A = this chain, B = another copy of it.
Amino acid sequence: MLKNIKKITLAESIREALVLSMKKNDNVILVGLGVDDPKGIFGTTKDIDKIFKKERVFDFPTAENAMTGISIGASLLGMKPVIVHQRVEFSLLSLEQIINQAAKWFFMNGGTKSVPLVIRLIIGRGWGQGPQHSQSLEAIFAHIPGLKVISLSTPYNAKGLLISSIEDKNPVIIFEHRWLHEIQGEVPKKYYKIPLGKAKVVKKGTDITLVSSSYMVIECLRSAKILKSYSIDVEVVDIQSLRPLDIQTIMNSVKKTKKAIIVDNGGINFGISSEIIARLYENFSNKEKSICKIERIGPPDNPIPSTRELAKYCYPNYLDIIKKTEKLLKKKFKNLEKYKDNIPLDQPNKDFMGPF
């Protein structure tokens, strides 16, 4: 491994982005319940309070709505608050501030002041977390003009996208899937940026395109690997930016492979995949419309149950993607069973034993 690159977890890469941003810009402050606690938000803010002055790592009362409004206020004086919610559900208490205020501030004040604010929202499944701690609500935010909505998937893009988000002058919502904090990847040590608003082809291929974001990118890559042994060459596109949506990159891939599965993290109804499918067809020629085949997968249309025996039906994985691929390509892959791993669906890794 090169000296200027190291292998770290996504949690560590987020932490690096935060530390580097705070070093570079005195106005960057961390805000959220537990940002300075011993667990440091799944490790992403761990011990940052020991590097910087106390006032820059701001534990907050359980008052999400005011926390957001207060951060907006601070941002108007040049501060760059980075808020974090340990569960996306908590942020619902602050949607008034996010949707009515932050998203529209620049516009409704005639371009006089924008709200440079980053809000990290942790999504995803977990150890029997149940209906109120396991939603993936990206679609709600992606619907709102004035927000930028980013979704992380690898340690590499986490660092670059978070740094860009902190440098951005607008309110940026960042989705972090709980299952990703512990995955490892190579990350440059330096301060680097990945532009917001761009999708990325994370694996090239010619037979079928998998379009996805956040944790589902990992499942897509897993299925791509397996499909390779069946001689299917999969292209995987990581959406990365849900708003603005880089439909062009997705489009280019789908026009090439003629087949696509849109793999949604959250509910598909009125979800992220709906918009992508709509845009694709809107941009297709008549011929493409009839030859391109597009399907989607996502959690079923119900709240997420706590019990693992039912939660397992709610998180499509690489096998489901492969089965969808079989259907789409009208093929039958033999001995798929052998690719079944035995990591239970409620553990991000084998060592994980709850409770959170």
Helix, strand, loop or mixed for chain A's interface? helix
What sequence of 0s and 1s flags, for each residue 263-303 of chain A, a beta carbon within 8 Å of any chain B beta carbon?
00011011111110110011000110111001110000111
| Cβ B301 vs Cβ A145 within 8 A | yes
Partner of A274, one of B100, B103, B275, B291: B275
Interface size class of A (residues with CB under 8 A): 35 or more
Cα distance A294–B281 when bound, in Å? 9
Residues of B within 8 A of A287 (CB): 290
Tell me if A92 and B95 are in contact (CB < 8 A).
yes
Q: What residues of B have a CB within 8 angstroms of the CB of A108 in the complex?
A: 130-132, 303, 305
Closest to A110 in B: B305
Distance of A217 from chain B, by nearest CB (Å) = 19
B104 near A99 with CB under 8 A, answer no
Q: Are B286 and A290 in contact (CB under 8 A)?
A: yes
Binary interface profile of A, 79-103, with partner B (CB < 8 Å = 1, else 0)?
0000000000100110110011001
Q: Given A93-B96, A272-B270, are A131 and B104 neighbors across the interface (CB < 8 Å)?
A: yes
Chain copies in the assembled complex: 2
Q: Mark A145-168, 1 if CB is under 8 A from B, else 0.
A: 110000000000000000000000
- A residues near B (Cβ < 8 Å) are 65, 89, 92-93, 95-96, 99-100, 103-104, 107-108, 130-132, 137, 139-140, 142-146, 242-243, 245, 266-267, 269-275, 277-278, 281-282, 286-287, 289-291, 294-296, 301-303, 305
Having A139-B270, A146-B303, A274-B274, one finds 18 other A-B pairs with CB under 8 Å, namely: A65-B93, A92-B95, A92-B96, A92-B100, A93-B95, A104-B132, A108-B303, A143-B267, A145-B303, A243-B269, A245-B269, A270-B270, A270-B274, A270-B275, A277-B278, A278-B296, A281-B294, A282-B296
Please list 17 pairs of residues, one from A and one from B, whose beta carbons are closer than 8 Å in the complex, sorted by A's number.
A100-B132, A104-B132, A108-B131, A108-B132, A137-B143, A140-B140, A145-B269, A270-B272, A271-B275, A273-B278, A274-B275, A274-B278, A275-B278, A277-B277, A281-B289, A281-B294, A282-B294
